Structure 1
Amino acid sequence: MQMNIRRLGAEDARAFRELRLEGLKMHPEAFGASFDDELAQPLERAAARLAENVVLGGFDAAGALQGIIGLRREKAAKIRHRAGIWGMYVAPSGRGTGLAKNLLQAAINEAMVDCQSVLLSVTASNEAAKRLYQRAGFREWAVDRKALCVGGAFVDEVLMRLDFA
């Protein structure tokens, strides 16, 4: 399945918000944000998030948004050399197509323009995502125990980083 990857803009805010809400609802343990909190936010907040960050989307041949990944560049002078991956999600219909790998590589390429490191966190139990990140060169550097509390259960997050040569 051919996917088109591009940076999302204000015109994509509704599709971005819908896909993000789907991810938050289907996999609450995988995100720091909660479905209820995001649902309460107006569409304008999604548009602002797209303006404040690099958010890449993967679209199928019909033009439907199938996957998203966010890249936040640090602004403070002492940490400006780092970027962070956030909010990665691929809809079930886009899984197994290579979209996740391509979205991740596109975000890495974007970060390489002006950063020296990319950091991310992933739920410790999400083996598929950890393998994806490891294949892209990310290495585990810490485990944040009880990083999230989802439905009364604690979830550990693995902190990973990719340093550019």
Structure 2
Amino acid sequence: MHDPFGALAEAIIYQQITGRAAATIHARVVALFDSEVETLAPEQILSATEEQLRSAGLSRGKTLALKDLATKTLEGIVPTLDELETMDNEAIIERLIPIRGIGRWTAEMLLIFRLGRPDVLPVGDYAIRKAFGLHFREGEFPTPREVTEHGERWRPFRTVASWYLWRSLSLK
């Protein structure tokens, strides 16, 4: 990951829609700006009107979230890549969740897929809980607390357990 803003902006765009639709919308947002790179910059988002961003396919909520992310990036609230590399997982999550459109799950996905952190167990993730229930609770859907407690035995490699849990759902 080269740019926390670009990674988080992409995560916001991809939330709650299919990957294909999200990729199309992301490409349209990038195309709004005369840029040769396929990532977004906070200055670009702030220079765009809400109407321009909406015309690319973004919902009002995602438009507001991207504007908030851009503002907080320029204010120094969003950590730089160098800062992220020195912060522990919980510190990163706590720093990011006050930003509109970024909750714990989005922050955890950044930790796993963009920062390569080895010890993340996203207990709020529906698929993680479903797979956990199938494998450890005879199909009963667990609470996040139950997954957290059981997941302690997987430290310091809970990300690997997460990958296996996600993958196991495609094998059923």
Normalising by structure 2, what TM-score?
0.31
* Greater fraction strand: 1
Which has a greater percent of helix?
2
TM-score by length of 1: 0.32
Structure with higher Rg: it is 2
